[in-house]
Each structure stands twice: as structure tokens, then as C-alpha cells.
Amino acid sequence: DGGITQSPKYLFRKEGQNVTLSCEQNLNHDAMYWYRQDPGQGLRLIYYSQIVNDFQKGDIAEGYSVSREKKESFPLTVTSAQKNPTAFYLCASLTGRSGANVLTFGAGSRLTVL
């Protein structure tokens, strides 16, 4: 089954701790994205990567970091600098081939800060 796997599904963190959310895809997609979703709101872009070893900030990158060492993997670290980290985090991927511009999303990871 091809798709995007996010883990963990639920995560609890104490204030001041960094946490890393995993995102793995076996779709052979070039580009990967992290979005944040808050209750009653649309998704907002945190970071994205269009190619291995390269990534760009999205609209709300402060307090987050990413890496893209492998095509299949795009982990997101929520650092202690993120002031309001409780949210639903969604990873997505997109093929770079012309004409196939649809984002495929994972099932999400829900982070709660205690």
C-alpha cells in the first residue's frame, strides 16, 4: 500500500521539551510538506522541501525545524521556542512531475502540551 505514514498519532509533551514528529512516504514523491491545523481553522504551512537536503520556511516556521536527508523522510521537530505547540500536524507529499499537483496527506499527529 502506497501512502504517507505519520507517527506517533498522539503525543504529549511537557513545556520546555522538544519533540519530533515522523513522516515517511513510499510514493516516490519529490516534495514534502508540513502543515499545522488548529481547531476551527484551515491548514497553515510550516515547512516544505522540494528536494533532498533542501527545505524552505512556510508561513509559520518559527519554533519548528526540519531535515530532509532521505527522499522518503521529512521529520518535524517542535522546539521549546514554539509558544503554542498544541495542534494537529499534517504531513503531505507531492510529485514533481507535471500535471500531478495534488497533495497527498498523512493521517496526522496530534500534539498536546501539558
| Residue ranges binding another protein (CB under 8 A) | 4, 31, 33, 35, 38-45, 48, 50, 58, 84, 90, 92-94, 101-108, 110
Separation between Cα atoms, residue 71 and residue 24, nearest integer Å: 9
In angstroms, how far is the first alpha carbon of the chain from the final one? Answer: 35
Q: How far is the CB of 25 from another protein (least distance, A)?
A: 12
Q: How far is the CB of 45 from another protein (least distance, A)?
A: 6
Give the residue from 43, 71, 40, 41 showing the smallest Cα distance to 55: 71
Residue whose CB is less far from another protein, 108 or 111: 108
Q: How far is the CB of 90 from another protein (least distance, A)?
A: 5
Separation between Cα atoms, residue 79 and residue 48, nearest integer Å: 17
Residue whose CB is less far from another protein, 70 or 97: 97
